[in-house]
Amino acid sequence: MSESFDAVDIIATKRDRKALDKAQIDWVIDAYTRGVVADEQMSALAMAIFLNGMGREEIAHWTAAMIASGERMDFGSLARPTADKHSTGGVGDKITLPLAPLVAVYGVAVPQLSGRGLGHTGGTLDKLESIPGWQAALSNEAMLRQLDEIGAVICAAGAGLAPADKKLYALRDVTSTVEAIPLIASSIMSKKIAEGTGSLVLDVKVGSGAFMKTVEQARELARTMVDLGTDAGVRTVALLTDMATPLGLTAGNALEVKESVDVLAGGGPADVVELTVALAREMLAAAGKPDIDPAEALRDGRAMDVWRSMIYAQGGDPDATLPVATDTEVVTADADGVLQRLDALAVGVAAWRLGAGRARKEDPVQAGAGVVIHAKPGDRVTSGQPLLTLHTDTPDRFERAKEALRGAWSIAESAPDTVPLVIDRVS
C-alpha cells in the first residue's frame, strides 16, 4: 500500500526544530510498529527529539499514538476504584511490594503492571520471582479476578499493551536516547493510560541513582507526566523523592523481598516505611479516600494478610525460604567519624555486577545476589566496621563490584546536611 508520509521528511521536520502534527505522529508510530519505518530512521528521530524536545501537544499526540498501537484494558467491572503507582527507578526501591497490598486493605484495587531491571535499577518482577513458585505472567481475565477477590496484583504487562513502546524502548536503550524527557514521559504514560487505571501516583526519583540527576529535570518530567495523565482523564499526581542514597538497607532481589516483608510485619527501615506510607496516602486520596492513615494496616497485620494472598494467588509460597547467595564479602569503613554520603549509583552498579541485575534484557539474574547496607548517612562509624556486605553466587564478581564502590562514601566529623525523602509534589 502507499504510505501517507515519508520517514525522512518527518525526521527533517524534527531535526529543524519544528513541531510534528498529529497525522505525522500517528503515521510514524504505526509505520514503525509495522516495520515500514526502519530502526535507523526511528533512531534518528529519537535523537532529534532528544536534542530539540517536544511541546505538550506533540507529547500528548505521541503518547496517544503509542496507546493506539495496542489494546486498552478496562477495570469498569470492578466494584472498587483503581489506583496505580509508577516509579522512575532507583536503587533499593522495593516500595511496590509493601505498597500494593497496603492500599488494597482499604478497598482500592491496585493493578500494578511492573517490569524487570535493566542496568543498575532493580526490577519488581525480578524481586518477586525470587519467591519459590511465583509467576509474573497473568492473563487479563486472571488479573481481573485477582483484583476483584484480593484487591491487588503485581504482574508483567501483556504483549498487547502499547507494543510500539516496547519496540521503541529497546531502541532507545542502545541509541543513548533513554533520558529524553518527552520519550520517558510518553513511554511510562502510554502503558499506564492503556492499562486503564482510574488514578495514578508517580514516584519520580532524583539524584545519583536516578535517571533524573537534578530536581529541575525531575520536576519537568513530573509535570509532563501529570499533564499527560490529566489530559487523558486519569487523576495523576507525582512525588519527587530522593535517590542520592539507596532506599532501605538492601539492593538485590531476594534481599529486597525480605526487607519488604519486614515492613509488612510492622518493622523495616524507616525510609522505606516513610515512602510506602506517603505514596499510599496519595493513592488513597486519588481514589477518593483522603482521610485514611495507612500506617495502621502495616502495624496491625492487615497489609501482610493481603500480601500473602497475592503471593499464593500467583503460585508463590510466602512461607518459603528465600534464596541466599553462596558467597559474601564485607566492605569496611576506612576511618572513624560520621558517614556523610553513600552513593546510590555506586551501590546499584555493585549489586548489578554481583549478579542482581542484567546488562541485556535476555540475561538471567541471581536471586540471592546484591548488597546489604550496614550504615546510612548520619550514622557514626569506626574504622574497620562493616559498611556493606556483598552477596553473589559467583565470587569472581567481587573485584568488579568493589571497583564500582571506590569513592562511593565519605566519612567526616560533622553530621551531613539532611535532605527530605519527599522533595516536592506536582499535581
Residue 333 CB contacts under 8 Å (≥ 6 apart), including other chains: 339, 375, 381, 382, 383, 384, 385, 386, 387, 411
Same domain? For 257 and 114 the reply is: yes
Mean pLDDT of 231-254: 96
Question: pLDDT at position 171, please?
Answer: 87
Within a domain: 2: no
What is the model's pTM? 0.93
Do the domain assignments include residue 320?
Answer: no
Catalytic (active site) residue 379: no
Please tell me whether residues 142 and 226 are part of one structural domain. Answer: yes
- Catalytic annotation present for 130: no
Which residue range forms the structural domain that includes residue 344? Answer: 327-412
Residue 376, domain member (yes or no):
yes
Q: Position 205: which residue type?
A: K
Q: Are residues 287 and 349 in the same domain?
A: no
86 is catalytic: yes
Task: Kindly indicate the confidence band of residue 1, based on its pLDDT and cuts at 50, 70 and 90.
Answer: low
Mean residue pLDDT of the chain comes to 94
Tell me the average pLDDT across 187-214.
94
pLDDT grade for 120, boundaries at 50, 70 and 90: confident
- Pull the grid cell for residue 9: 521528511
Residue 366 shares a structural domain with residue 226? no
Asked if 152 and 78 count as a contact pair (C-beta separation under 8 A), the reply is: no
- Given this model, what pLDDT does residue 173 score? 77
Predicted local confidence at residue 340, as pLDDT: 96
On whether both 273 and 348 belong to a single domain, the answer is no
In this model, does residue 386 exceed pLDDT 90?
Answer: yes
Q: Is 259 exposed, middle or buried (0-12, 13-18, 19+ CB in 10 A)?
A: buried
280 and 204 part of one domain: yes
Predicted pLDDT at 119: 67
Residue 361, SS3?
coil
Q: Is 148 helix (H, G, I), strand (E, B) or coil?
A: helix
Asked if residue 115 has pLDDT above 90, the reply is: no
25-34, 132-141, 153-162, 358-367: which has the minimum mean pLDDT? 358-367
Query: Which member of 186, 187, 190, 208 is catalytic?
Result: 187
pLDDT exceeds 90 at position 348: yes
Among residues 94, 127, 172, 302, the one annotated as catalytic is 172
Q: Out of 26, 84, 165, 271, which one is annotated catalytic?
A: 165
Report pLDDT for 13: 97
On whether both 360 and 300 belong to a single domain, the answer is no
Whether residue 145 lies in the annotated active site:
no
Is there a single domain that holds both residue 308 and residue 396?
no
Q: Encode pLDDT of 258-316 as tens digits.
A: 999 999 999 999 999 999 999 999 999 999 999 999 999 999 999 999 999 999 999 99
Give CA separation, 52 vs 12, 45, 58, 182, 298, in Å. 12, 10, 12, 10, 46
Residue 15 annotated to the active site: no
Grid cell 554481583 is found at: 354
Of 106, 131, 196, 128, nearest in space to 160 by CA: 196
**pLDDT > 70 in the chain, percent:** 99
My answer on whether 340 and 369 are in the same domain is yes
User: Which pLDDT score is estimated for 361?
Assistant: 66
Asked whether the predicted pLDDT for residue 87 surpasses 70, the reply is: yes
- Residue 226, pLDDT > 90, answer yes
Q: What is the CATH number of the domain that holds 334?
A: 3.90.1170.30
Please report the pLDDT score of residue 363 as a whole number: 77
* pLDDT at res. 3: 87
> What confidence score (pLDDT) does residue 157 get?
84
Within this chain, do residues 209 and 352 fall inside the same structural domain, yes or no?
no
State yes or no: pLDDT of 118 exceeds 70. Answer: no
How far is residue 220 CA from its own chain's centroid?
A: 18
- Percent pLDDT > 90 in the chain is 86
The structural domain count of the chain equals 2
Tens digit of pLDDT for each residue in 141-151? 999 999 999 99
Active-site hit among 85, 120, 191, 353: 191
Q: Is residue 6 part of a domain?
A: no
From the list 14, 86, 116, 235, the catalytic residue is 86
Residue 133, pLDDT score: 97
Mean pLDDT within 160-181? 86
Q: Which residues contact 102 (CB under 8 A, 6 or more apart)?
A: 264, 276, 277, 280, 294, 297, 298, 303, 306
243 and 356, same structural domain?
A: no
> What was the pLDDT predicted at 122?
76
Left if phi > 0, otherwise alpha if psi is -120 to 50, otherwise beta: which for 384?
A: left
The answer to whether residues 301 and 386 belong to one domain is no
